Structure 1
Amino acid sequence: MCSAHRSRAQGTRVRVKILLDAQAVFWWYSDPAKISKRAVSMIEDGENTILVSAATAWELAIKTAIGTLDALSLVIDLPRYLAEEGFEELPVSVSQATRAGLLPLHHRDPFDRLLAAQAQDLSIPVLSNDRLFDLYDVKRLW
């Protein structure tokens, strides 16, 4: 776990809200070396607000339940882990869910489509290595 990494920087920098995708959350928890140095720097910057969607929690739980992801300890302790890391939970609104359902089918993954809809709705970037986010009107960081 990387809870020691996030710290408040000194100065008068602009706070940026960043939405992590499920892969970024999983790697931050299990193997931060898989995350780009630029992305790690953005997550570690205590001036940034790091958001984790309820859709990401759902995705991690489903993939763990069906055996495609080995993340049971993360899933069980996700609320505590997010709090320890200083990450904020992002609920899913009805308008965001509707927007996700109406997005073009560039990305077949419903979880990532919901993250794209949330990023569009809130005008915030998604931190992800998945280039399919680039096909939507969202800024992708990695």
Structure 2
Amino acid sequence: MRVLLDTHILIWFMDGEKELSQSVIDIIRNYENEIFVSVASIWEIVIKTSISKLPYYGSVNDIYEFLNKYKIELINISPNHLSTLLTLPHHHRDPFDRLIISQAIVEKLSVVTADQHFAAYQVDIVAQ
């Protein structure tokens, strides 16, 4: 299985998994699966931490080390992701979520999310 974690799923995983369903924990911890996180999620965490909307999770390097520990791969933003983003309908206004959706479409990944807005797009969802 190839999945892209929505930002809040990554945050809940970093927080110790208590908010995650057992099925999502099993997906993330199964190293036969390919688990991805968008660089946009890291950017969102940094922004929200800097304005005190999220607790401090350590430096960006600490977050990258956490991702490496669990073999979670980082997806950078490509021109193809941005081109797809331009074509998405505006069912959802969150720019980070819209970028994650476009990355999932381009990279053919399912998205692990609890956000109901994702269902309005042509993307496979793994429900939290």
TM-score, L = length of structure 1: 0.83
Q: Which residue of 1 is the match for residue 86 of structure 2? A: 101
Where do 5+ consecutive residues of structure 2 fail to align?
none
2:38 counterpart of 1:92: no
Alignment partners' CA distance in 2, 1:80 and 1:74: 10
Q: Which residue of 2 is the match for residue 37 of structure 1? A: 22
2:55 counterpart of 1:70: yes
Q: 1:17 to 1:102 in 2, by over 3 A?
A: same
For residue 74 of structure 1, report the CA deviation from its aligned partner: 6.1
Partner deviation per Cα, 1:50-88 (whole Å, 9 max, x = no partner): 101111111111111122111342645111111111111
- Which one has a larger percent strand, Structure 1 or Structure 2? 2
SS of aligned partner of 2:109: coil
For residue 115 of structure 1, the aligned residue among 94, 97, 100 is 100
Q: Return the structure number with greater relative CO, CA threshold 8 A, min gap 6.
A: 2
Q: What is the aligned-residue identity percentage?
A: 33
For residue 109 of structure 1, report the CA deviation from its aligned partner: 0.5
2:11 counterpart of 1:26: yes
Partner deviation per Cα, 1:72-125 (whole Å, 9 max, x = no partner): 426451111111111111111012023223311111100000010011111110
2:105 counterpart of 1:134: no
Alignment partners' CA distance in 2, 1:108 and 1:127: 19
TM-score, L = length of structure 2: 0.92
Is the 8 Å Cα contact of residues 60 and 75 (structure 1) preserved in structure 2? no
SS of aligned partner of 2:18: helix
Q: How many residues align?
A: 127
Which stretches of structure 1, 4 residues or more, deviate above 3 A after TM superposition? none
